[in-house]
Amino acid sequence: MLEPVLQASNLVKRFGGLTATDDLSLDIREGEIHAVIGPNGAGKTTMIGQLIGELRPDAGSIRFLGQDITHLPVHKRSHLGIARSFQITSIFLNFTALDNVALAVQAHDGHSFRFWGDARRDAGLREPAMEALKQVGLAHRADVVASALSHGEHRQLEIAMALATRPKLLLLDEPMAGMGPEDSARMVAMLQSIKGSVTMLLIEHDMDAVFALADRITVLVYGHGIATGTPDDIRRNEQVRQAYLGDELEA
């Protein structure tokens, strides 16, 4: 079998007396959408924080494409190909949608110690940025200031910025958070359309979306992965039913 794109081994993260990540191991395979589900407080965002580099695990290691990245800072992981969309929309509100994505492109186009040329007329930034906006279906809103976009559009912009860094692994932290059913459906379709071209780790509470998209699912409870398997495996897993899914899946 191929080496997984990302391999987290025995991660532990404690905050005082609370063990937010408890001996968590996770493999993400090339091209798959790997969903991580779990009740509130299961440690999903803490896990993402460690994978992206904002948090240092107290124990364990993280390997990405064969390289140990456990102690690499955030921006270096980005250059290796890890991108993230935030649970709480985290964009540059006073920039236009296109400016936002162009900045993400710029981050991966050499150093930015360039003081003279007008970055907003730089085709090398604008064109790839426009491509990313098209990918998420936001091209028609390119010149709108981000603060004037709707919540659903903010979520799309989040993904566009992550995609613009040409990631090998995309960490999606609740991309459908706060969305209505229509926007959610559009987001699922969009993720479906880029599936295969980029490996994704998906954290999401919307079970319909998770089971529609995921190739494999890991269930997290109290920071520990209690099961990993295909959606069907997870549906049938007795332990998972008891711990978390309960009635939700029987309906």
Spatial strand order in the sheet of 199-203:
82-85, 169-173, 199-203, 33-37, 216-221, 224-229
181 binds another protein (CB under 8 A): no
Tell me which amino acid residue 6 is.
L
93 binds another protein (CB under 8 A): yes
42 binds another protein (CB under 8 A): no
> Which run of H or E residues covers position 248?
helix 247-250
Biggest CA pair distance of the chain? 62
Q: How far is the CB of 246 from another protein (least distance, A)?
A: 34
107 binds another protein (CB under 8 A): yes
Q: How far is the CB of 224 from another protein (least distance, A)?
A: 26
Nearer to another protein, 25 or 89 (CB): 89
Q: Give CA–CA dist 96/157, Å, rounded.
A: 10
CB 203 within 8 A of CB 172: yes
Q: Give CA–CA dist 93/145, Å, rounded.
A: 7
Q: Give CA–CA dist 136/198, Å, rounded.
A: 14
Question: In the numeric block, which tokens belong to residue 46?
Answer: 């803490």
- Contacts to another protein from residues 133-162, by CB under 8 A: 161-162
Nearer to another protein, 113 or 182 (CB): 113
94 binds another protein (CB under 8 A): yes
Residues that contact another protein, how many (by CB under 8 A): 38
Q: How far is the CB of 152 from another protein (least distance, A)?
A: 19
From the list 1, 40, 113, 251, which residue makes contact with another protein (rule: CB under 8 A)?
113
Angle at 49 between CA 36 and CA 219, to 5 degrees: 15
131 binds another protein (CB under 8 A): no
99 binds another protein (CB under 8 A): yes
91 binds another protein (CB under 8 A): yes
Piece of the chain touching another protein by CB under 8 A; list 73-81, 179-187, 201-209, 230-238: 73-81
Locate tokens 């079998």: which residue? 1
DSSP state of 245: I
Q: Give CA–CA dist 160/94, Å, rounded.
A: 17
- Contacts to another protein from residues 47-66, by CB under 8 A: 52, 54
The contact set with another protein (CB under 8 A) reads 52, 54, 73-75, 78-79, 83-84, 86, 90-95, 99, 102-104, 106-108, 112-120, 122, 125, 161-162, 164-165
